[in-house]
C-alpha cells in the first residue's frame, strides 16, 4: 500500500469504497490479494467494528426492507474490512468494482465474480444466503455520490474512534 494522499472530486472516478463483510473476514488477506490480482490497488484498509448507529446510518436506504434488521445484526456482529480501492480506466472504478463483486444475491452472481467464488468457498453456495445463514460477503458503492458519502461516513468514524 502506498502512502496516503488527499483526493479531489476528479479522483472519485478512479477510486471506490468497498467493504468485506464480517462473514468473510476469516479470508480477509486472501480476499485483498484476490482484489489486487484483479487490477485494483488497495489505497487504504482498516479492520473496523461498525457500531449499530453507524450501520443503521450506512444502510438507511434499506430501513423499510425485510432484510434490514438481519443486515444490521450481521454487519455489527464482528469487524468488517474497510477498503478504498483505485483502478484507473475509462469506466468509473465503482462500476468496475460492482462488476467484479457480482450480483447482490450470490445465487445470481456470475461465475468468476467475488460473490460467486466466496459464497461457494465460505458457505457452500447461495443456499446459505437464501436461508439467512450468510451475507453476500462484499459491499460496493453504487455511484460516485455513494463513494463520497460512504467513505466519508465510515472514515470519519474510524478517525473519531482511534
Quick one: cell of 151? Answer: 467513505
Are 24 and 134 contacting, i.e. CB atoms less than 8 angstroms apart? no
| Dihedral sign (CA 108, 23, 13, 36) | negative
Residues in Cβ contact with 110 at an 8 Å cutoff, skipping those fewer than 6 apart: 102, 103, 116
Q: What gap in Å lies between CA 25 and CA 29, rounded to an integer? A: 8
Give the residue from 86, 88, 94, 92 showing the smallest Cα distance to 42: 86
62 is catalytic: no
90 beta partners: none
User: What count of other Cβ atoms lies within 10 Å of the Cβ of residue 124?
Assistant: 11
Are 82 and 54 contacting, i.e. CB atoms less than 8 angstroms apart? no
Catalytic residue among 139, 140, 154, 157: 139
Catalytic residues: 139
Amino acid at each position: 500500500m502506498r502512502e496516503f494522499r488527499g483526493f479531489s472530486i476528479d479522483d472519485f472516478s478512479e477510486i471506490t469504497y468497498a467493504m468485506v463483510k464480517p462473514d468473510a473476514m476469516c479470508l480477509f488477506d486472501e480476499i485483498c490479494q484476490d482484489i489486487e490480482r484483479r487490477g485494483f490497488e488497495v489505497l487504504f484498509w482498516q479492520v473496523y467494528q461498525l457500531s449499530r448507529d453507524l450501520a443503521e446510518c450506512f444502510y438507511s436506504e434499506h430501513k423499510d426492507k425485510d432484510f434490514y434488521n438481519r443486515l444490521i445484526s450481521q454487519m455489527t456482529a464482528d469487524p468488517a474490512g474497510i477498503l478504498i480501492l483505485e483502478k484507473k480506466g475509462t469506466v468509473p472504478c465503482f462500476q468496475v468494482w460492482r462488476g467484479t463483486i457480482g450480483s447482490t444475491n450470490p445465487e445470481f452472481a456470475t461465475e468468476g465474480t467475488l460473490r460467486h467464488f466466496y459464497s461457494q468457498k465460505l458457505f457452500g453456495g447461495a443456499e446459505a444466503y437464501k436461508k439467512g445463514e450468510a451475507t453476500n460477503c462484499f459491499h460496493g458503492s453504487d455511484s460516485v455520490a455513494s463513494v463520497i458519502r460512504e467513505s466519508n461516513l465510515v472514515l470519519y468514524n474510524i478517525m473519531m474512534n482511534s
